Every structure is written in structure tokens, then in C-alpha cells.
Structure 1
Amino acid sequence: MTLFPTVAAFEAALEALPVADEAARGAASLRQTQLTKPPGSLGRLEDLAVFMAGWQGRERPRFERARAAIFAGNHGVAVHGVSAFPVSVTAQMVENFRRGGAAINALADAVGLELVIADIDLETPTADFTTGPAMDEAACLAALNIGADVVVPGLDILVVGEMGIGNSTSAAALCLRSYGGTAADWVGPGTGVDVAGIARKIAVVEAGIARHADFPRTPFETLRRVGGREIVAIAGAVVAARLAGVPVMLDGFISSAAIAPIAAAYPSITEHCIAGHCSAEPGHERLLQALKLEPLLRLGMRLGEGSGAAVAVGVIRSALAAHDGMATFAEAGVSVA
């Protein structure tokens, strides 16, 4: 079944976002006070266990089926020289993912993530958003539903990542339209462009925002006007996960930017999300502050592909292992202070 058959259906979903199970959160919090350790001594690991309990609806959350969904798309704005690589690299990297040769393959294997790759019309880049909308309504809805389809019954956590030459330019435009500031606040080197390349990116983002300034700033309109198919798919996956009660691990700047238009209008969309890391892309720190998300890791990564989020999944596994595997004071016969 198509989760978002119409724009109205997508907007209705945003108006009715479910909340965490407070009873499960409370039970998990109580368990944390009973484990053989001083209260709070495991720091954020304790908070993560309680977070996972709330979204899974169980006192002792599990890590049995974890999925990383990597979405790929091409961007019309790449014609402006905003990337250090040609658009053909997107398809080449998708093949590398499928052969198992990319960073995300190795990192997903290391932490027990099932990897799903969804390439979306790579042969047809989105339109250049400096001249018109990147997508029409049908294409944007299709991308939302491709994202929604990766959320299947039984998932314990979903990691979202992306691949798309030119997509850091689109991400910067999404952030600027959603949270304001200047293009320079949100634009960074992406794949490694030089100073002249950054100047081109800034000009493209400014032109795109000016082109669409008089149109509605709803989440859907912002996504379709300056987003990309893979970015919209991430947004669809995040919303679908929320409807299914599945916690989401966001990757870097582009994955986080996918929910910026939604979060600007519906701040609670981030309640089931964890920021896996803060990337080296300059706009990511600013974006995480706007989203009110504290990243788990700061490793200077800026690859994309879901790579930083995959590394952060190891922290989740540790949090759940301690929460489930530790003895209580009563079980261990240890005196309580």
C-alpha cells in the first residue's frame, strides 16, 4: 500500500505524529536506577536505552533487526560545477555499494546492519532548481514513498544515508529556506570543491532560493522545489518510521537536511531521531542546533553513505547491551548506597 498517495495524505501524517510510549520509558528509567552502578554513571548510554525503550514500547529494548537504507539520486544543479565529481559517479558508487566495496558496506557489517540500496531515476536528474522546481508533485510523492517502503515490520532501528553528486548544494538550499541565514552559512566543500567551487555553490543556492521565494514554504513544497529524490526519500523514510514507532539514526548534513523543512514546521518530528554524528561539513553543526539534536560522535567524517550513523549504531548496541545484560542490585546481592 502506498503510504503517501497524495500531498494531503503526507500533510495529514505530519499533523498526527505518534509519541513515544511513556510507560516503557518509565520502566526503562526505573531499571536504570536498579542496575549495579552509580546513577548516571553510564552517561548518555542510559539516556539512549530509555529512548529506545520508549520507541520500541518495551522496558528492555532489543537489537535484532537493524536496517541501513541508502538512497541515491542525481541533481540538475550539478551542471553549475558545484561538485568536484561528475554525476556519473553516483551510479558508479551505487554499483560499488552493491558489490560490497564501499565504506558503508564494511561499517554496516561491523555493527550488524542490514543494507538496502535504493537508486532513484539516476538517468534522469532532478531539474535545475535555479530555473524551476526540482520535481513536480508526482515525482516528489514517488520519492517520499520509495523512502517509506524501506520501513518494514519488525525493524528495531533505521539508519538513513545518501549518495548523490550535487546533493550538498540541495541540502544547503533546504536549510536556508527552512531556517534562514545566508547561503554562506549553509554551504561547505561537499565532495571537496575549492574556494571557487564554494563561491559557485553559494551563488546557486542564492539563485534557487530567490527563484522560489514567492511560493509556499510547506514541507512538501520546499522538498520538491529545492530537494533531490534521494533527499525526499529520506524524509519519507523518517516520517514512515515515526508512524511505525521505529527510531531513526540520522547520518550527516544531507540526511539531516532532509528533515529540515519538516522540522521547521513540525519540530516534534525529531523526537524519534538520533543524530549519529556531527560531520565536518560546516553547515551540519548549525543544522543540528536548529533541530535541537546532540550528536553522538564527532569524528571529522564527511563521507555520507550513512557511514557516520553506522559507526554510531555501535554506541546504541553498547547502550542496549548494558541495559539488558547488567544485573540489578537485588540480583547481584550488592548493597545500595
Structure 2
Amino acid sequence: MTSIQEILQRKIDFKTKPLGALGVLEKIAFQVGSIQNSLNPVLKNPTIVVFAGDHGVANDGLSAYPQEVTYQMVLNFLQGGAAINVFSKQNSITLKIVDAGVNYHFESNPNLINAKVARGTRSFLREKAMTPSQLEDCLQKGKKIVNVVAQTGCNVIGFGEMGIANTSAAAMLMSYCCTIPIENCVGRGTGINDLQLENKISLLKIAANLHGTITNPIEILQTFGGFEIAQMVGAILAAFEKNMLILVDGFIASSAFLVAFKINTEIIKNAIFCHQSEEQGHKKMLAFMQAEPLLQLNMRLGEGTGCAVAYPIIESAVNFLNQMSSFESAGISNKD
């Protein structure tokens, strides 16, 4: 431990409570203080960025919903009607919506960041989802978005997504990055039935056979990722460079973090995994990264909703560290 971490742990331990009595809140306080190298960390201008993109495989029977729902949900975000809008507003979190590659032409909107690479990826059931230049464009666009957010003074950033069929992309990224059989990575996504789930697993196995062995995380991302996932990877790496606290949402956002983690394992220090998704692969993915989820609420919505719901808990951790009395300052006897 560095000296600041030793002092930080002592500050936590000598609050007016039994040792360790605030449980996970103590771990969060220690983590945030360590990231900021401060005994009095501050959360500034919390922001959630929701990346939206379409997937070529959406038209191959992998989702319960048609591809059109992606752009329809983006319009819902812009109108303030989605869950992420409600939770962000409730918790005073700035919300940014990004068109990373939706198969739709949006009119100019001050609340929509236009980072469109193309109108959806290609189907990885037939070819790589994107070209090397498209992938590089995604990584750079994600980085630029975070750099602009950082200029607002933001030091805590969460990532969400919207993209029909992106649980299939996330399952493939997980299978390849963690070397876990695809059937252990695939979930019900938008709510497919048993027969549709069998079909989804079968199709994804065909994709794995088509592309064969790939070990480089960048190539795995190029082969199976969506534009929204790839931009999230660039954004996560940039957020770490800016030393931000990184809030990770559910299965798809975690798959983007997983790719970034394979590129730079150090980023785990700055991450809080806000919840464990109902997608069955998410628990295994978190275990691979030795990550502990903050909440388990049976959620599987995406959009960054887990980040927004978890944020008040993170605020509580920072507030107790900064505002709670110590035994000494309160004149209370500590245990012998």
C-alpha cells in the first residue's frame, strides 16, 4: 500500500462505527479515494453516455424484436421517455445519447451526438462485422466523446447501450475473450423463448466455426462487435487515461469493458460494476475479471440503467468518508 492508501484505510476504520460495519460502502470509499489520490474525494458532474448501434445479425433471427426498435428507442431517449432518462433525472446525472451506427437517419438534435460510422454492422454469420478502418474510427470516436465530457469537469462516467441483437455480439466477445463455450455465454436477450434460444446458440456456433480461432482482442472486436460496443471500448480506455471513475452497466457494457480489459488490465482499478445482469453469461464474465457486482436486481434492460440506479450508493460511500465523524472528533470511546 502507498502511504495515501494507508491513511485512507485508517480514516475509514476510525469512523464512528465498528470496524468494517459499512461493508461494501467502505470498499467503494477506499477505491474512489485511491483513484483520486485523496482523503476527501469528490464526484463531479456524473455523466452516463448511451451508445446506440445496429447489428447485421439482427436480421438473422437472433432477437425477439425487429431491428427498427433500435432507432425507435433512440427517439424515446431523446424525448425523455426511457428508464435511463427517469433514473438519470432522479439522480441528477447528465445523460448523453450517441448514434454510433443506427440504421436510421436522425434529424439534427442538440441532445444527440452524431458519431455514426455506418448504418449498422455487417452480419458476422457471413463476414467480419466491421472493417479495420471502421473499428479504428469507432475507437477514436469513443475516445473523443469522453475527452469532450471530461472538459465539463466530469470525473465519474457510466456507459450504456442500445442495439437490437447486441446480446449476441456480447456473447461472442465473451466466448472468445474468456475462452468459454458459446452456450455458457448466451442468454435470452430481449426475451426469446426456448426454441429461439436453441436457434440463437446454433447460429452463434456456426459463426464461431466460420471465423475459427482468434485471440487478439482488437480482432475479436472487429469480427463480432457492434459500432456501439466498439465506441464504448474506446471510451472506456479514454476514461481510464483521464483517471475517471468508470461505472459499468450490464452484460453488453461489460463485454465492451472485457475487450478493453484484455487490452489493458489496469483499467479494473477504476471500475465499479454496478449490477449483475439477468443474462446468464454476465456472472461468468464478471468472475473472469474477478469483479464484484454492486447490485443484483434481476435487471436486463441495458441503457446504462444499472449505473444510474447504483450511483446513489456510490455517493453514500463518498459522503460517509467525507462527512462522518471519527471516534476522536466525536469524543466517542473506541474499542480497546
Shift in alpha-carbon separation, 1:235–1:22, aligned structure 2, 3 A: farther
Match of 2:6 in 1: 26
TM-score (norm 1): 0.90
CA deviation string 1:104-144 (max 9, x = no partner): 01111122211011011212110111211101111111211
Task: Specify every segment of 5 or more residues in structure 2 that has no aligned partner in the other structure, as ranges.
Answer: 104-118
The letter of the residue matching 1:58 is: S
Match of 2:222 in 1: 224
CA deviation string 1:67-121 (max 9, x = no partner): 1011000000111111111111111111111111100011111222110110112
Question: Within 1, Cα distance between the matches of 2:7 and 2:47?
Answer: 26
User: Could you tell me whether the CA contact under 8 Å between 1:218 and 1:261 is conserved in 2?
Assistant: no
Question: Within 1, Cα distance between the matches of 2:154 and 2:209?
Answer: 41
User: Could you tell me whether the CA contact under 8 Å between 1:90 and 1:163 is conserved in 2?
Assistant: yes
The letter of the residue matching 1:210 is: N
The letter of the residue matching 2:284 is: R
User: Could you tell me whether the CA contact under 8 Å between 1:175 and 1:287 is conserved in 2?
Assistant: yes
Task: Specify every segment of 5 or more residues in structure 1 that has no aligned partner in the other structure, as ranges.
Answer: 1-20
Match of 2:82 in 1: 102
Match of 1:209 in 2: 208
Question: Within 2, Cα distance between the matches of 1:292 and 1:50?
Answer: 18
What does residue range 259-270 of structure 1 map to in structure 2 within 5 Å?
259-264=257-262, 266-270=264-268
1:83 aligns with 2:63: yes
The letter of the residue matching 1:250 is: V
Question: Within 2, Cα distance between the matches of 1:315 and 1:25?
Answer: 21
Shift in alpha-carbon separation, 1:26–1:99, aligned structure 2, 3 A: farther
Question: Within 1, Cα distance between the matches of 2:188 and 2:33?
Answer: 38
**Residue of structure 2 aligned with 1:74, choices 54, 57, 65:** 54
The letter of the residue matching 1:322 is: F
Match of 1:198 in 2: 197
Residue 22 (structure 1) shift:
4.3
Match of 2:280 in 1: 282
Q: How many residues align?
A: 316
User: Could you tell me whether the CA contact under 8 Å between 2:91 and 2:312 is conserved in 1?
Assistant: yes
Question: Within 2, Cα distance between the matches of 1:40 and 1:277?
Answer: 22
Residue 197 (structure 1) shift:
1.6
Shift in alpha-carbon separation, 1:79–1:47, aligned structure 2, 3 A: same
Q: Secondary structure at the match of 1:259?
A: helix
User: Could you tell me whether the CA contact under 8 Å between 1:137 and 1:224 is conserved in 2?
Assistant: yes
CA deviation string 1:205-239 (max 9, x = no partner): 2122222224x421211111111111111111111
What does residue range 33-44 of structure 1 map to in structure 2 within 5 Å?
33-44=13-24
1:119 aligns with 2:99: yes
Shift in alpha-carbon separation, 1:74–1:23, aligned structure 2, 3 A: farther
Match of 1:162 in 2: 161
Match of 2:144 in 1: 149
The letter of the residue matching 2:203 is: V
Residue 29 (structure 1) shift:
1.5
Question: Within 2, Cα distance between the matches of 1:34 and 1:111?
Answer: 29
Question: Within 1, Cα distance between the matches of 2:334 and 2:101?
Answer: 60
Q: Say what the alpha-carbon RMSD is for the aligned residues.
A: 1.6
The letter of the residue matching 1:30 is: R
Match of 1:53 in 2: 33
User: Could you tell me whether the CA contact under 8 Å between 1:174 and 1:222 is conserved in 2?
Assistant: yes
Question: Within 2, Cα distance between the matches of 1:61 and 1:328?
Answer: 17
Residue 264 (structure 1) shift:
4.1
Q: Secondary structure at the match of 1:50?
A: helix
1:131 aligns with 2:126: yes
